[in-house]
């Protein structure tokens, strides 16, 4: 444990269960001394999120569907009421119709395109828009993205297009909030077996491919991502904003399958 976030208060959005990337980030933040609030989607998740939050000493849980403006307003009103200010925001939310996370991108429907962009891209802007009002200099916002934004990955389809837009929005938000000393960054995580990832076609194959072909010859864990998020959230990264930081065992730098990699 360390004191990197001692005295800081942060909102974690997107915790579903103990496999969630949000859980890795929350744990790293709590170990660094942060006080945490959690927003979760729908009442069904409360019985999972409640005990996890309690493990980190938090009873601050707020239901929030990021597709709903009023729901977001209520969340940030509660943060203002209970804390009066916010030091950091972690957005670990994405969604697309499973049926379109396989097969061809060209077949994406208008409806799912709009929904994927709304929940996976706009929700971060909508949250930052509200968080900004509670943050001062030193404030930090982090979202989660994936390499499918930069290069074509099998089955990622409309989510790749959404993540590209999310990464662009990180740069625009960094410029807007930079004047007030608030930083905005993304972590591009390698594949991790979570609830959201289980909707992606051939995900086991993608995990194997990354394991065999990344410079570290392994997949990343939610703790790898959590510790890097801690760096971006804390003052250690005081000079870093608008960045997409890869936490992918180095996969994104590789141009060709290694000679020692097995055929999979
Ligand atoms: P997860 O299923 O644990 O988390 C996704 C979260 O999004 C859930 O908590 C879900 O409730 C929430 N969510 C979806 N729609 C919502 C809505 N309308 N309102 C509020 N919350 C909503 O999966 P995860 O893999 O931890 O995903 C977290 C983030 O990490 C996502 O943005 C995902 O794209 C990104 N990511 C995941 C991987 C991976 O391989 N797992 C890799 C890179 C990036």
Crossing angle of helices 123-131 and 157-178, in 10° steps, is 20
Distance 192 CA to ligand 1 centre (A): 11
The answer for residues whose C-beta is within 8 angstroms of residue 244's C-beta and 6 or more apart is 145, 149, 167, 170, 185, 186, 187, 188
pTM flag (> 0.80): yes
Asked whether the predicted pLDDT for residue 263 surpasses 90, the reply is: no
Q: Verify whether ligand 1 is closer than 6 Å to residue 244 (CB atom).
A: no
- Output the CA torsion 174→177→131→125 (10° steps): -50
Q: Verify whether ligand 1 is closer than 6 Å to residue 95 (CB atom).
A: yes
Crossing angle of helices 21-31 and 222-233, in 10° steps, is 50
H-state helical runs in the chain: 21-31, 46-55, 69-82, 110-117, 123-131, 157-178, 203-213, 222-233
**Do the Cβ atoms of 32 and 4 come closer than 8 Å?**
yes
Domain that holds residue 108: 9-250
60 confidence band (pLDDT: 50, 70, 90) = very high
Q: How many structural domains comprise the chain? A: 1
257 confidence band (pLDDT: 50, 70, 90) = confident
Residue 263 belongs to some domain of the structure: no
Model pLDDT for residues 42-59, shown as the tens digit of each residue: 999 999 999 999 999 999
Complex-level ipTM beyond the 0.90 threshold: yes
CATH number at residue 116: 3.40.50.720
**Do the Cβ atoms of 29 and 66 come closer than 8 Å?**
no
The residue annotated as part of the active site, out of 146, 147, 231, 251, is 146
């Amino acid at each position: 444990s360390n004191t990197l976030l001692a005295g800081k208060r942060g909102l974690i959005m997107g915790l579903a269960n103990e496999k969630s990337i949000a859980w890795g980030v929350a744990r790293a933040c709590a170990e660094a001394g942060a006080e945490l609030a959690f927003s979760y989607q729908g009442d069904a998740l409360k019985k999972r999120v409640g005990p996890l939050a309690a493990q980190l000493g938090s009873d601050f849980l707020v239901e929030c569907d990021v597709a709903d403006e009023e729901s977001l307003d209520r969340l940030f009103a509660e943060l203002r009421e209970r804390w009066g200010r916010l030091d950091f925001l972690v957005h670990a939310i994405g969604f697309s119709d499973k049926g379109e996370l396989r097969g061809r991108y060209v077949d994406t429907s208008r409806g799912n395109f709009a929904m994927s962009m709304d929940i996976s891209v706009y929700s971060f802007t909508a949250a930052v828009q509200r968080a900004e009002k509670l943050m001062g200099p030193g404030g930090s916002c982090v979202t989660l993205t994936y390499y499918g934004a930069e290069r074509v990955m099998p089955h990622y389809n409309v989510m790749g297009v959404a993540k590209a837009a999310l990464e662009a929005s990180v740069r625009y938000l960094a410029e807007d909030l930079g004047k007030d000393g608030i930083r905005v960054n993304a972590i591009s995580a390698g594949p991790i077996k979570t609830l959201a990832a289980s909707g992606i076609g051939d995900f086991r194959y993608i995990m194997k491919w990354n394991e065999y072909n990344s410079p570290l010859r392994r997949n990343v864990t939610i703790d790898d991502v959590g510790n890097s998020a801690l760096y971006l959230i804390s003052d250690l990264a005081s000079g870093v904003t608008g960045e997409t930081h890869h936490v992918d065992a180095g996969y994104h730098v590789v141009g060709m399958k290694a000679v020692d990699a097995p055929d999979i």
